[in-house]
Structure 1
Amino acid sequence: MQLNSIGLDVTKSKSLSKDLNLLLANFQRYYQNLRGIHWNIKGKRFFDLHVKFEELYTDANLKVDEIAERILTLGGVPLHTFEDYIENAKVPVGKNITKDEDAIRLIVESLSRLLVIERAILDASDEASDEGTNAMMSEFITEQEKTVWMMKAWLAEEI
């Protein structure tokens, strides 16, 4: 087994970089969706939701950077073109969403898909003894589960 400069198996690090690039592409689409609903939301809940969506897209932007830097730390190259994101993202595209419930449902669906990807990465990073990626995924999962719960509560739906 060949180790890289941070003591991880090179082959497993390459595989994790690929998985993280998939997450990166999906996070970029999620981020762009959040920008869109922030700009286009209408209705009586505009003021509250406009601020909330800004909070969410600011957080997503930070996470995009963290994911890209983790890919670099593992020796990979982060995806960085819209073409790459379109090709690799599975998070739904939210286009021209102006209604509050539609926007919240888009967030819940997007986070649900991100959580599936993150849990798979968590399993792979645990297998690779990659505590850095493990910690990042654990943090993301904890925050996003809480956001899903809050959004479902807003919708008056069961988790």
Structure 2
Amino acid sequence: TSPLGTQLVLDPGNSALLGCPIKGHPVPNITWFHGGQPIVTATGLTHHILAAGQILQVANLSGGSQGEFSCLAQNEAGVLMQKASLVIQDYWWSVDRLATCSASCGNRGVQQPRLRCLLNSTEVNPAHCAGKVRPAVQPIACNRRDCPSR
């Protein structure tokens, strides 16, 4: 559970619990929003409101889950809004530049395309991409010219 006013960074498919720990007398009415729109009208967002509105559970996170979440608490004493930002980090494989040719000459050289694991266009430890489908890569022939005579 994360208190509001923070930023949560989570992987796709996970769940998030957002808390709106507001007390008041009389008990405030709590309304949740995603991207400024009431959560009840949000499409493509799997959510549950728990603990008399004080906890919002967002399940099966995806890119559409990203953004600002807020809770609005209202009673006769006044109005209070708290906000949190949700960021979904997604790792993926990228086919990068070719490795150096395996032979300097002689029709037998190959170059392997290099695979990199990326998060927001930054290379990260390949272990983060372990569950992701690797793109098919084929070696490419290189240095097809004959070697010079000895």
Quick check: TM above 0.5? no
Q: Which has the higher helix share?
A: 1
Bigger RCO of structures 1 and 2 (CA < 8 A, at least 6 apart):
1
TM-score range, shorter chain: under 0.3
Q: Which has the higher strand share?
A: 2
Q: Which structure has the greater CA radius of gyration?
A: 2
